[in-house]
Structure formats: structure tokens, C-alpha cells
Homo-oligomer: A and B are copies of this chain.
Amino acid sequence: MLHTLTSPLDMIGRSKGELDTPALVVDLDAMERNIRLMADFLGDGPVKLRPHMKTHKTPQIALMQIRAGAAGVTCQKVSEAEAMVDGGVEDVLIANQIVGPVKIHRLMDLARRARVMVAVDNADNVADLSRAAVATGVTLGVLVEINHGMNRCGTEPGQPTLALARIVADAPGLRFLGLQAYEGHVVMLPDFEARKAAVEQALAIAMGSKALIEADGLPVPVFSGGGTGSYAITGRYPGVTELQAGSYVTMDVGYKRIGMPFECALTVLTTIVSRPRDGVIVGDSGLKVITPEFGMPDIVDLPGAKVIYLSEEHTKIEVSEPLPEVRVGSKIELIPSHGCTTFNLHDWVYMIRNDVIEHVWRVTARGRSQ
């Protein structure tokens, strides 16, 4: 049926197959099962979920996670946190260094209307945050980011971490709340036992610094970290209070490959635009709608077909069987290898239940990089 749309919202109530492509779609039942699985795993234990919204960048999904028990959300950027608070989230951690006068000003504005925590790893930055908090009349929660093995940002364990914690605790307008540590260097190790050993090694280092700070008389009420690949390890580790897993909610091929128990709920609906010769079909999803950094996407329910290449606007698919049912104009679904960067390419996400478009949500934090 031909329809000319004025807004993606007009698709509500229609069937998934009527969507024009490429389109980002989420299976609601599968996503809700993922949310439930994570909530049940954490239960009433000492670790609260603070899911990273970098995956979905969509306030409505964050609110579903919060209704299932999450304490709030984790963000990387001030502009992402603004999108979440604008969308109804009341508690945000920016698990990242916020540097520069414009962003710090925006951070303080945000702290007037939501509970905000931010990470630091540098004394000059602490001084800037302190001055701005005092000038604004807010008290900002601060976590010291500790480098427990990823070797990206973060203070070195031991004395350097304690020293910065002390500086934060003594800074007017700031409240030292604890530590933040992300084991990004090992969350995707394929072998679970190797991953567990590596994550626990990192956490042991970080907990050593936590003990050092506490022994110095400073309480450490918050220890926030972990990802989807380490949720079952970090989520049970003594001393951890918050788990930042994000990808679990809609999943991707990257995490599926290492055996995570969540379901792939996120796909990019794709139209076949060419069947130029035997063995090759071409779809209309390329690098501008689905990202390649963790490998090629998987194809849903098309045995013998494999994505071998993404160019900017084409999916090149090799097929080992004739697949006569796949014609020019047919639609297929691709599961991204990396959900987080794929979400960031889309302005809208179509939420599907039983083949019907139940919601059309704007990915409001898409492109929020500042």
C-alpha cells in the first residue's frame, strides 16, 4: 500500500513490513525479557543497575529500565544527560571527565534539576568543577575514576587515587561519593573463565584503593562500573554498588558472539535493491545506518546468506543457495555487530510487538557528543 508520510509517528499501528528502509527496529518482547533478566539477576542485592544509555540514547527505554528497578542512568556526555533529564530521568551519572567552561556550566545547570554525579581524574578539573558548583549554588556528586587496567582515563591505583579523593572531599561545592571503574579492556574476552579472572583482577586492584581511602577516614558509598560482558562478575563482586551495563537491553552480535544470555532485539530493516548475478544480493543498509567496528552484521532467518561487505549505502550479501523468495523489493533484517554506535546513526526507532509498530520513539540523544 502506498502512503506518503509527514512523520514517522504516522507508522504507529502499521505492520513492520510497511516500514520504508533502512529503519531501526526493536522487538519489544525481546527487549522486555532482557530488562527482566537483568533485573532478576540483581534482585534486591547490594548492586543496583545504572544502565548506560549510550546504547539506546532514548529516554523512553531508560524509563522502562528504571521502572524495572534501575537507580538511574549512566551517560558519557553532558548533552546526553540533558536529553535523559529532559525525558524524565531524575538521576544521572556522567561516567566521564567533563572539561571546559561551556560543558561545566551546562553540568551545573543540570545539577539544579536532577541528581547528578560526574567522574574526575585530574585535580585542575576538580578545581574548575568546585568553582562552578559554588558559583551556581549546587552540590555535585563526584566519583574518582580509577584506572584498574583499561589504561584509558583514570587515576593510578593507590596513593594517586587517594590523593585525588582527598582533593575532591575538600573541594567546596563537591561531594566525594566514591569510585568509578570500567573494565572495558576485558569485557569482550570470549572465554568466560578468562574474562572472569581478568575482571576480578581489575576489581581487586580497585577495591584495594577503596580500602585505602576508607582507611584514611573517607567513606566510599558508591563503586560504579561494569558492562554487559562483565555483568555476572562485577554484579556479584563484593564492594560494587552500581552496574553500568548498557548493551544488554537490545544486544548486538558482538556480545552474542561471546555467549551473553540476552536476546538480540535490535535490527536494521533492509530492502533488497539488486540481485545483479548469481550468488550476490545487495541491500540498502550501509555504513551510514549500521556500524562495522565489531564486524559485519548477522542476517535474521536467511540461511546460506552472509554479509561480506558494507559500503556507505549498500549491504553486499553472498548467498550459497538460490533463495528465489528474496527478490528486488524484499525486506530482510540485519543484526548490528555494535548496537551503541548503530543507534547513534538513527533519529527514530520503531518499537515492534507481534509485527505491529507499537511505538515510534525519537532517539533524542543521537548525535549528542558534547
Contacts and interface: CB of A to CB of B under 8 A. Distances in A.
A22 B152 contact: no
Interface string A35-68: 0000000000000000000100000000000000
Contacts of A316: 152
Contact of A276 (B98, B105, B121, B311): B121
A367 B4 CA distance: 19
A3 B100 CA distance: 11
B293 A103 contact: no
A153 interface: yes
A207 B20 CA distance: 36
Contacts of A287: 291, 293, 341
A208 interface: no
A105 B2 contact: yes
A314 B282 contact: no
Given A2-B102, A96-B273, A271-B99, A312 B341 contact: yes
A229 to B, nearest CB: 14
A100 B314 contact: no
A111 to B, nearest CB: 15
Contacts of A312: 54, 76, 340-341
A344 B293 CA distance: 16
Contact of A345 (B96, B293, B328, B367): B367
A100 B313 contact: no
A350 to B, nearest CB: 13
B276 A153 contact: yes
Contacts of A121: 274, 276
A282 B153 CA distance: 7
A99 B367 contact: no
Interface in A272-325: 272-277, 280, 282, 284-285, 287-289, 291-293, 311-314, 316
A347 B367 contact: yes
A122 to B, nearest CB: 5
Q: For chain A, which range describes its interface: under 10, 10 to 19, 20 to 34, or 35 or more residues?
A: 35 or more
A281 to B, nearest CB: 10
A156 interface: yes
Contact of A341 (B3, B100, B288, B347): B288
Report whether over half of chain A's contact residues are helix, strand or loop; otherwise say mixed. loop
Nearest to A109: B4
A16 B357 CA distance: 44
B345 A20 contact: no
A97 B4 CA distance: 20
A184 interface: yes
Contact of A99 (B23, B101, B329): B329
30 contacts: A2-B101, A2-B102, A2-B105, A3-B102, A4-B105, A5-B102, A20-B100, A20-B102, A21-B100, A21-B370, A22-B369, A77-B313, A97-B273, A98-B273, A99-B273, A99-B328, A99-B329, A100-B329, A121-B276, A124-B328, A147-B277, A152-B280, A153-B273, A153-B276, A153-B282, A156-B276, A287-B291, A293-B293, A312-B340, A344-B345
Interface of A: 1-5, 20-23, 54, 76-77, 96-103, 105-106, 121-122, 124-125, 147, 151-156, 184, 271-277, 280, 282, 284-285, 287-289, 291-293, 311-314, 316, 327-329, 340-341, 344-347, 367, 369-370
Given A154-B276, A285-B369, 6 more contacts: A1-B101, A2-B102, A151-B280, A152-B282, A153-B314, A312-B341
Q: Which 3 A-B pairs have the closest CB atoms?
A: A153-B274, A97-B273, A76-B313
